[in-house]
Amino acid sequence: MTAESVDVVVIGMGPGGEDVATRVARGGLAVVGVEGRLVGGECPYYACVPTKMMVRAAGVLAEARRVEGLAGSASVQADWRPVAARIREEATDDWDDRVAVERFEKAGGRFVRGWGRISAPGEVTVATDGGERVFRARRGIVLNPGTEPAVPPLDGLAGTPFWTNRDAVPATEVPESLIVLGGGPVGAEFAQIFARFGARVTVVVPRRLLPQDEPEAGQLLAKVFAEEGIEVRDGVRGTAVRHDGREFALPLDNGEVLRAERLLVAAGRRTELAGLGIGAVGLDESARSIPVDNRLRAADGVWALGDVTGQGAFTHVSMYQARIAAQDILGSGNEVARYHAVPRVTFTDPEVGAVGMTEEQARAAGLTVRAGITEVPASTRGWIHKAGNAGFIKLVEDADRGVLVGACSAGPEGGEVLSALAVAVHAQVPTATLREMILAYPTFHRAIESALDALASV
């Protein structure tokens, strides 16, 4: 088979893959982008974009239900149909990526629909519907395979019509009842969305809600969920799954059996590295992620970015890495990747934003830690005391250096309040300097001042 010679081959055109491919194409290199699913990856079709439409719709319902006692009275009737229509027509183009493909091609790239793998150093073989195509990459290969929903090996689960996020997003109807396996950002967001649209929801978590965030965030969300009628079973695991053609049954290890019309599996993400052929360039195909240096180099002539690098399964991390990898491939710029201030937001109500390390992570890293926390009262700025209106700000300081190494902002607009804290952690602004700031009143971010006071009193 004759190999086609190009400068760069990008395997996986998720947000980061598309961005790095576009950058190097505009830099004058001959680039081939390879994708077996949808150009743009999970984010615009099954994650960030459509789920935020869902979150917004569910939030509008919640706000309307808060009219009583604050501004009069309102009658609220949930209707999923306009939400489903917007997702299909506006967010995903009915899960059609032609616009994204054309955008890449207009930038000067070539697109190949198929599944790519490294077949030899500097060589990529792509399995397409029309057979295999081979490309020789003169400058390099970029890996951005993304991840797939992880499915736990529960007895009886395989073969049942369970949902992952890829099934929940296109749903045209809200189930009468729903069991959510997993209480991370994906599970928590979907649980609240469907509950606000009328589903009876139970969340099953082996530890607690939002296990990667500060424990106070999980505790706050558990309280909110209880107020909204969402049941949480924490500290338990499912032992098997049964489906009788009408409903799911999930026995738990505490002896309880949960039943619901639908089962949503939100148990993390995974990548099958062996399918990428990385063993051909000396990388471990059995590993969970691909180690890279601070310029995203994984091996000689190979760069990797996105979820597969293990630095956080976030679109913003992938895009950040894409910029650095593109500079390295083009031989321009000297930026290096740093991950000490990676921000993340869970778009529940209340929002939970976090940046850098948690208190537990900072202590595990051997830092001399001081932590300060302050409550964001539910009555702030005229909000009423119902689910989603209360919150907190928590600061984690490296006391030896006098700088923040982590922060958590939970509450109304928690993700937006996070921006000021993200700047502080990223730039390593001394906490003494932060205490000298003037913060506008009455804004939610003014609670940062109270959190700094709490930190100083530790």
pLDDT digits (tens, 9 = 90+) for 390-431: 899 999 999 999 999 999 999 989 999 999 999 999 999 999
Spatial distance between the Cα atoms of 128 and 145, rounded to a whole number of angstroms: 16
What confidence tens digit (pLDDT) does each residue in 123-136 have?
999 999 999 999 99
- Could you tell me which of 171, 447, 222 has the C-alpha nearest to residue 348? 222
What local confidence, expressed as pLDDT, does residue 384 receive?
47
**152: Cβ contacts below 8 Å, ≥ 6 apart:** 181, 238, 265, 267
Phi–psi pair at 419, nearest 5 degrees: -55, -45
What percent of the chain is modeled with pLDDT above 70?
Answer: 97
Strand order in the sheet with 248-251: 242-243, 248-251, 257-260
Alpha carbon 116 to its chain's center: 25
Alpha helix ranges (H) inside 343-397:
359-364
Assign 389 a pLDDT band (cuts: 50, 70, 90): low
Q: How far apart are CA 267 and CA 135, in angstroms?
A: 36
Which domains are seen in the chain, by residue range? 4-40+97-147+271-330 (3.50.50.60), 165-267 (3.50.50.60), 343-456 (3.30.390.30)
Selection from 425, 426, 212 nearest residue 312 by Cα: 212
The mean pLDDT value for 165-176 works out to 98
Could you tell me if 181 and 238 are in contact, meaning their C-beta atoms sit under 8 angstroms apart? yes
Identity at 189, one-letter amino acid code:
E
361 three-class SS: helix
What's the pLDDT band for 167 if we cut at 50, 70, 90? very high
Separation of alpha carbons 322 and 306, rounded Å: 8
| Residue 209: C-alpha distances to residues 52, 183, 217, 414 (Å) | 20, 5, 8, 17
Report how far residue 189's alpha carbon sits from residue 264's, in angstroms, rounded to the nearest whole number: 12
Q: How big is the chain, counted in residues?
A: 458
Average pLDDT, the chain: 95
Question: pLDDT tens digits, residue range 13-32?
Answer: 999 999 999 999 999 999 99
Whether the per-residue pLDDT at 350 is higher than 90: the answer is yes
3-state DSSP call for residue 357? coil
Q: What is the pLDDT of residue 378?
A: 64
Reported pTM: 0.95
The span from the CA of 328 to the CA of 376, in Å, is 44
